[in-house]
Amino acid sequence: MKIKTFAVEHWMNLYEMEAVNNIAETCVESLTVNELIEIDGTNPEEFLRNLGKQKLTYGHIEGSPEFRGLVSNLYDSVSPENVLMMNGAIGANFLVLYSLIEPGDHVVAVHPTYQQLYDVPASFGASVDLLPLRPENQFLPDLNELKSLVNDKTKLIIINNPNNPSGSIIEKQMLEEIVEIARSCDAYILCDEVYRNLMQEDGLVVPSIVDLYEKGISTSSMSKVLSLAGLRLGWIAGPDQVIAECIKHRDYTTISCGMLDDLLAVHALKNYDNILKRNRKIIKDNLAILDAWIQQEPSFSYVKPRAGTTALLKYDLPISSEDFCIGLFKANGAFLTPGSCFDMEGHVRIGYACDTEVLKKGLEKVSEYVRTLQQEGNKKGHSYSKN
């Protein structure tokens, strides 16, 4: 089956492990196993001793009852049977698309977003229309545009809330309007919610799509909000018929996920509020640093993110985003993601939820590299410098 290269994952695979100051990572600074276990005062030695006694069977095929129960508590109207464990949100998204999409279906997906969300349905033979998220609209969808895109063949509308890469957030009222549009053509809505609850504003609560719509499907995972990407666990929360279809398709690809991962995930989910508190502090502190940097770096501007862990930085330099990021990486090891991975040339994506010192150092290195580019450009008589 033909499919395009997954640009952002390809980019990460090429360079991430050698990055010195990695400000491309989208997880909130990852936890160690011991940090996770100790988060509620549990003794790691005792925890690990008990883990050692665990017989390594396939475990609960659809995820342990504890896992499914704790995940269902993250929603208002989801029962444990309506939660299905998968290998990361990437596995969850793939399974939903593999289970629902047939050749000839029509799909609408927001753009820019995680490429999987629009190129996988296209690879299954769907005709995919992209709904642009524009900086002048704070990277929010234009609902008149969405209305004009849907038709009676539209099976699925795909959104990503909060959005990667822009950090925008669709609030409740707009979500309800999207639900009305989906209802008018009887389409499902898949909402990739891997960054859910990572809000900048205190008190801002945005509901999950499953709690707003009878044909709403939420995918999420342990990776971003819980800082545990290494567990490779995620889930689908959705209506009965979708979960049944997903289970049928899942039997061919997954059997079960790792049972040790399941045990650690249960410990993390029991401490969800604690980890979220830690992570909201990191994203708020770090966004303040990024914001101060943007204010004093004349070549860069942005739509300030309201949620999630990433932002798109627009730059005013005569260089492609890929050349910029490769040049930066080679010059000093700082690592960003080119906007071209999201069809957003003239931008780079930053992941600002990393260790605060790494963020500060990484931004310093970006400034250093920009000065070098400007000096070289000025020598050659190009108008690199705005100063």
Ligand X SMILES: Cc1ncc(COP(=O)(O)O)c(C=O)c1O
| Residue range at the interface with ligand X (CB under 6 A); choices 53-61, 84-92, 119-127, 167-175 | 84-92
Query: Which residue from 22, 154, 160, 227 is in contact with ligand X, where contact means CB under 6 A?
Result: 160
Query: Between 170 and 370, whose beta carbon lies closer to ligand X?
Result: 170
Distance (Å, whole) CA 223 – CA 162: 14
Query: Which residue from 75, 114, 188, 302 is in contact with ligand X, where contact means CB under 6 A?
Result: 114
Query: Between 90 and 328, whose beta carbon lies closer to ligand X?
Result: 90
Query: Which residue from 221, 279, 332, 340 is in contact with ligand X, where contact means CB under 6 A?
Result: 221
Query: Which residue from 23, 59, 62, 88 is in contact with ligand X, where contact means CB under 6 A?
Result: 88
Query: Which residue from 89, 101, 150, 353 is in contact with ligand X, where contact means CB under 6 A?
Result: 89
Query: Between 26 and 72, whose beta carbon lies closer to ligand X?
Result: 26
Q: What residues contact residue 41 under an 8 Å CB cut-off, 6+ apart? A: none
Sequence length of the chain is 387
CA angle, residues 20, 196, 166, in degrees to nearest 5:
55
Query: Between 21 and 219, whose beta carbon lies closer to ligand X?
Result: 219
Distance (Å, whole) CA 352 – CA 222: 18
192 sits near ligand X (criterion: CB under 6 A): yes
Query: Between 242 and 370, whose beta carbon lies closer to ligand X?
Result: 242
Q: Which of residues 227-246 bind ligand X (CB under 6 A)?
A: 229, 234
| Residue range at the interface with ligand X (CB under 6 A); choices 28-36, 75-83, 86-94, 258-266 | 86-94
Q: What residues contact residue 117 under an 8 Å CB cut-off, 6+ apart? A: 93, 109, 110, 158, 160, 190, 192
279 sits near ligand X (criterion: CB under 6 A): no
Residue facing ligand X at closest CB distance: 88
| Residue range at the interface with ligand X (CB under 6 A); choices 49-57, 82-90, 137-145, 286-294 | 82-90
| Residue range at the interface with ligand X (CB under 6 A); choices 88-96, 255-263, 335-343, 368-376 | 88-96
Query: Between 4 and 330, whose beta carbon lies closer to ligand X?
Result: 4
Give least dist CB 99 to ligand X, A.
17
208 sits near ligand X (criterion: CB under 6 A): no
Query: Which residue from 64, 164, 271, 321 is in contact with ligand X, where contact means CB under 6 A?
Result: 164
Q: Which two three-digit tokens encode residue 298?
A: 């004349």
Rounded alpha-carbon distances, angstroms, from residue 34 to 29, 41, 42, 203, 264: 14, 11, 10, 31, 11
Query: Between 17 and 383, whose beta carbon lies closer to ligand X?
Result: 17
**Positions that interact with ligand X (CB under 6 A):** 26, 88-90, 114, 160, 164, 192, 194, 221, 223, 229, 234
